[in-house]
Amino acid sequence: MKFIFHIVNILLIVFYLFSGSIIGCLLYNDCKTQPQLTPDFIVSSNHVYVFAIISLLGFVTYAKDKVFKIIIAYFFFIAVFLELEHIIIPERSFEVKDLGGNIFGVAISLVIFLIFKLRKKNGFI
């Protein structure tokens, strides 16, 4: 499970730091077009989905390890750091709603993970 998490984490970083859109290159043959899964509201929905999925994978992977608190801090750090990198990456731009989507995705997955962990501990699952 840790191997899968590390591969997905590396892919996240590569996709995030790529100058343009890798998915746009593959789907639309246009590296400037970013696919939009659902409409944005206050935060970027694509960013919420990506960070919720990868952070939930990380929380499940490291749930019983002593580094669990470090993993939580890592996801909040990487959510901010990767978006700030868009300031210097050509063809990318920093957006507050993207940053909000990153942080919101991590927070949602943490809440979901902790709820399930608490329910399991109390025998509800």
Predicted confidence (pLDDT) per residue in 65-122, tens digit:
889 999 999 999 999 999 999 999 888 889 999 999 999 999 999 999 999 988 887 7
Domain, as residue range, for 38: 2-121
Helix (H, G, I), strand (E, B) or coil at 9: helix
**Type of residue found at 38:** T
In angstroms, the CA 77 to CA 69 distance is: 12
pLDDT tens-digit map of 18-74: 876 777 677 777 767 777 778 888 899 989 999 999 999 999 999 888 899 999 999
| pTM of the predicted model as reported, rounded to 2 decimal places | 0.85
Q: How many domains does the chain have?
A: 1
- H-type helices in the chain, by residue range? 2-17, 22-28, 45-61, 68-85, 96-121
Return d(Cα 91, Cα 87) in angstroms, integer: 10
